[in-house]
């Protein structure tokens, strides 16, 4: 049984990735909504998980759109005054009223407006059922932030009320902060969270009051883990896919060698999720939307490299990741011994050790692949294997094998290093996991 | 740029503490009694049996007050600090302060298989109904925030409530200070007469400074300094779980951990506070109001219900602020 499930999961995973490459419609950068005035609505929806479950969602929606998990990513510019009107259209099981809802903005000095103040709550002013509240804050500092419900957050964050905020610096949208060392070529969001289905079931069947008879809120036991509101392998499916109507965001990072990939990592849930990024170290440049700098203006001079980002609930981390193959000690673009098609130069005009076009690491140029590959008859294949160990090359494969890696890229798993979180309700693989694919220069990245 | 930053950039991290934690080098001491008492949950559930520290009165009080974490104590930088402890509990008890220097005398016992095993990190006060006292001394104190706790069967006795804060010095830029001691209570471990094991630890109550929020009511408050003055925040975790104290809106300058200064302060709105950890931070409230402070691991529940728990407020009073006295100054019985 377990083996069958594993096989099924594997196929799902392959199918998702196949669609992702076939359609070329993966999420470009970070999907979200822009502007200075937002109208968000809290309503119910469903979170579909790959183990076959469908969990009740309380989600933020963009106006009249469906509720979504996570809520809309708000992309704003430094210095702007942001106004958010939150409407409460939540409906609940049972005879009692729907709860109040709210938003808090850690790192921002938010206030509720005098004209639509809502009602006071513990952490923020709240919108009563059928009513609304308007919040205002100034995006004084660039960086990665989050928002979530400040109303009974132990319950409402669990139910899905959380989302990301990105503040673009005045230096421009290719910078994370106002310093040259924070420039990036591509950026991806990794909003990490978890759910305990028992809580969602009680709220759906009995209403939130039913939780009082349990210890689920004080001692949650999550069994599904998310990146950007999806579990693997759905993380790799297209954004906005019809099978996940309330989970519009995916997590499918693609990058060329040498490019600077900005990882925006947010701890959205209640647990720490050590986010382990295979392929290379990443340099942490900021936490909680503040550069790691010794004095203002110094730039990220206190930055440091890690291979597992410590993601803390409610905190954010910005990190720069680069991959070139440096240090592998063999020529990933192939050597003439492997065939005439691999003859190539490594031209380092600017003396940075890298080819000026392909970003090949020139000190490894011409070094032979150090392994004698077994015959195809002696191999089992994964969907990512291109049939060749060489970067950007497609080799021959038995019928029906491979096919998920049309550009001959290298795939690296990015995942929670709390390994039990690589499952969907105890079924491996899944959960808080996606694949970074390094693709050759020239391969399209949407 | 503040003075601290200038100094730090010159690589004077250690000097920083000695300069800015300006308190006279004196030896301080206090007499405490370990007693059994009770804590009343905020939801009307039955009282929970606790063990706590109270000021010593020279005997075992027949009717001890309700439980709270032990009174925060103050030591002086470079000086010694001592606690003379009387024991009114049913088993031996001792005291340790992780991170501070003292002479330990581990206590052993022989288990049922004849093996010699450690029972306590240092000399114990016997369970003799308060007849004897033992004095514990910590030497050459470093500036920072420390956790006083039981050194005997700590998996049980600390959870039973035998913990308190020790503060040493105060940051030179600070005008006021606030102690924020995080802990949890699992009533199931307090019910039986038998030694409870935390293996199946499932806390129901989540406390800051011994207080749980109550669902539907304003969160408990701690003095949070004065507007436009700098507050030295001292976070301690005496519980068994990780918490993430979060200040709603403003940023803090986190400058020390476990009594060790960082070379450069870290600007964050929240603090990762694992079990046994202490963190020192600075914060300058802009105006007089209540600032929400809560656990972002969302232990904001009360006996399973949403609300309450580790919801707290830092109270920055307006005029007349002088009526407010920092919690550390209270000498509550």
Position B134 confidence tier, pLDDT thresholds 50, 70, 90: very high
Is it the case that residue B25 has pLDDT exceeding 90? no
- Residues 227-266, chain A: which have Cβ within 8 Å of B? none
Average pLDDT over residues B61-83: 95
CA of A316 to nearest chain B CA: how many angstroms apart? Answer: 10
CA of B319 to nearest chain A CA: how many angstroms apart? Answer: 23
pTM score of the predicted model: 0.92
CA of B219 to nearest chain A CA: how many angstroms apart? Answer: 7
Q: For chain B, give every domain's residue range.
A: 22-169, 173-322
CA of B162 to nearest chain A CA: how many angstroms apart? Answer: 23
Candidates 3.40.50.360, 2.40.50.100, 2.60.40.420, 1.20.1260.10; CATH matching B173-322: 2.60.40.420
CA of B268 to nearest chain A CA: how many angstroms apart? Answer: 6
- A286-310 pLDDT tens trace: 999 999 999 999 999 999 999 999 9
pLDDT of amino acid A9: 45
Is it the case that residue A230 has pLDDT exceeding 70? yes
Is it the case that residue B8 has pLDDT exceeding 80? no
Answer whether A272 sits within 8 Å of B242, measured CB to CB. yes
Answer whether A104 sits within 8 Å of B248, measured CB to CB. yes
Q: B173-322: same fold as B22-169?
A: yes
- Residues 147-166, chain A: which have Cβ within 8 Å of B? 150, 152-158
B11 contacts chain A (CB < 8 A): no
Q: Which homologous superfamily does the CATH classification assign to the domain defined by B22-169?
A: Cupredoxins -  blue copper proteins (2.60.40.420)
**Of B267, B292, B306, Cβ closest to residue A290:** B267
Contacts of B300 in chain A (CB under 8 A): 152-154
Is it the case that residue A49 has pLDDT exceeding 70? yes
Answer whether A314 sits within 8 Å of B311, measured CB to CB. no
Answer whether B301 sits within 8 Å of A218, measured CB to CB. yes
Taking CA–CA distances from A272, the nearest residue in chain B reads B297
- B258-281 pLDDT tens trace: 999 999 999 999 999 999 999 999
Identify the three-state secondary structure at position B141: coil
Answer whether A153 sits within 8 Å of B267, measured CB to CB. no
- A32-43 pLDDT tens trace: 999 999 999 999
Is it the case that residue A414 has pLDDT exceeding 90? yes
Q: Is the ipTM of this complex over 0.90?
A: yes
B274 contacts chain A (CB < 8 A): no
Position A404 confidence tier, pLDDT thresholds 50, 70, 90: confident
Q: For chain A, give every domain's residue range.
A: 330-368
Is it the case that residue B332 has pLDDT exceeding 60? no
Say how many CB pairs under 8 Å bridge A and B: 113
- A63-102 pLDDT tens trace: 999 999 999 999 999 999 999 999 999 999 877 889 999 9
Taking CA–CA distances from A154, the nearest residue in chain B reads B298
């Amino acid at each position: 049984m377990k083996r069958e499930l594993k096989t099924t999961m594997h196929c799902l995973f392959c199918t998702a990735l196949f669609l992702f490459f076939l359609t070329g419609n993966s999420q470009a950068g970070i999907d979200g909504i822009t502007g200075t005035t937002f109208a968000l609505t809290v309503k119910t929806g469903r979170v579909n998980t790959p183990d076959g479950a469908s969990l009740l969602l309380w989600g933020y929606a963009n106006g009249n759109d469906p509720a979504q998990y996570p809520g809309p990513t708000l992309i704003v510019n430094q210095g702007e005054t942001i106004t958010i009107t939150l409407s409460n259209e939540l409906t609940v099981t049972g005879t009692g009223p729907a709860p109040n809802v709210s938003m808090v903005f850690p790192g921002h000095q938010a206030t509720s407006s005098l004209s639509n103040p809502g009602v006071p709550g513990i952490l923020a002013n709240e919108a009563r059922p059928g009513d609304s509240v308007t919040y205002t804050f100034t995006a004084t500092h660039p960086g990665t932030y989050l928002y979530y419900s400040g109303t009974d957050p132990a319950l409402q964050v669990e139910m899905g009320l959380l989302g990301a905020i990105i503040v673009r610096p005045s230096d421009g949208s290719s910078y994370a902060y106002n310093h040259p060392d924070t420039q990036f070529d591509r950026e991806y969001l990794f909003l990490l969270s978890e759910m305990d289905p028992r809580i969602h079931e009680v709220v759906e069947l009995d209403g939130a009051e039913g939780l009082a008879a349990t210890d689920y809120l004080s001692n949650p036991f999550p069994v599904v883990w998310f990146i950007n509101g999806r579990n693997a392998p759905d993380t790799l499916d297209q954004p906005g896919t019809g099978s996940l109507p309330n989970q519009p965001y995916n997590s499918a990072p693609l990058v060329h060698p040498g490019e600077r990939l900005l990882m925006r990592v947010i701890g959205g849930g209640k647990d720490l999720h050590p986010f382990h990024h295979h392929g290379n170290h990443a340099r942490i440049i900021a936490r909680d939307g503040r550069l790691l700098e010794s004095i203002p203006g110094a730039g990220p001079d206190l930055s440091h490299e890690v291979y597992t980002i410590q993601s803390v609930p409610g905190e954010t981390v910005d990190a720069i990741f680069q991959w070139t193959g440096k240090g592998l000690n063999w020529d990933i673009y192939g050597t003439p011994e492997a065939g005439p098609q691999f003859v190539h130069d490594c031209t380092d005009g600017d003396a940075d050790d890298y080819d000026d076009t392909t970003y090949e690491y020139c000190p490894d140029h011409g070094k032979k692949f150090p392994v004698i590959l077994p015959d195809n008859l002696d191999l089992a294949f994964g969907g990512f294997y291109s049939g060749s160990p060489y970067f950007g090359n497609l080799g021959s494969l038995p019928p029906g094998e491979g096919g998920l890696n049309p550009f001959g890229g290298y795939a690296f798993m990015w995942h929670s290093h709390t390994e039990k979180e690589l499952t969907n309700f105890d079924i491996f693989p899944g959960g808080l996991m996606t694949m970074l694919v390094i693709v050759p220069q020239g391969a399209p990245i949407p | 740029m503040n003075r601290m930053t200038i100094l730090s950039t010159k690589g004077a991290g250690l000097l920083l503490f000695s300069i800015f934690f300006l308190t006279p080098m004196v030896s301080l001491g206090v007499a405490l009694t370990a007693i059994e008492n009770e804590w009343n949950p905020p939801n009307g559930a039955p009282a929970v049996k606790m063990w706590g520290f109270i000021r010593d009165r020279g005997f075992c009080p027949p009717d001890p007050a309700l439980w709270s974490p032990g009174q925060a104590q103050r030591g002086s930088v470079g000086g010694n600090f001592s606690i003379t402890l009387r024991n009114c509990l049913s088993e031996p008890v001792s005291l340790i302060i992780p991170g501070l220097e003292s002479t330990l005398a581990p206590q052993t016992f022989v288990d049922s298989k004849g093996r010699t095993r450690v029972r306590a990190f240092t000399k114990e006060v016997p369970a003799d109904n308060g007849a004897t006292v033992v004095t514990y001394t910590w030497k050459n104190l470093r500036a920072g925030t420390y956790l006083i706790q039981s050194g005997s069967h700590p998996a049980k006795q600390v959870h039973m409530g035998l913990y308190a804060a020790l503060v040493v010095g105060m940051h030179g830029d600070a005008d006021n200070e606030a102690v924020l001691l995080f802990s949890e209570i699992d009533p199931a471990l307090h019910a039986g007469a038998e030694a409870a094991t935390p293996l199946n630890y499932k806390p129901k109550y989540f406390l800051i400074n011994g207080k749980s929020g109550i669902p539907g009511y304003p969160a408990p408050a701690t003095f949070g300094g004065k507007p436009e003055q700098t507050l030295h925040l001292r976070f301690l975790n005496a519980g068994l779980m990780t918490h993430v104290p979060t200040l709603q809106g403003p940023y803090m300058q986190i400058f020390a951990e476990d009594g060790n200064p960082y070379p450069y302060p870290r600007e964050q709105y929240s603090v990762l506070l694992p079990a046994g950890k202490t963190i020192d931070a600075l914060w300058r409230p802009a105006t007089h109001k209540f600032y929400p402070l809560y656990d972002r691991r969302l232990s904001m529940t009360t006996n399973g219900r949403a609300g309450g728990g580790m919801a707290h407020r830092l109270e920055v009073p307006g005029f007349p602020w002088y009526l407010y006295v920092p919690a550390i100054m209270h000498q509550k019985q």
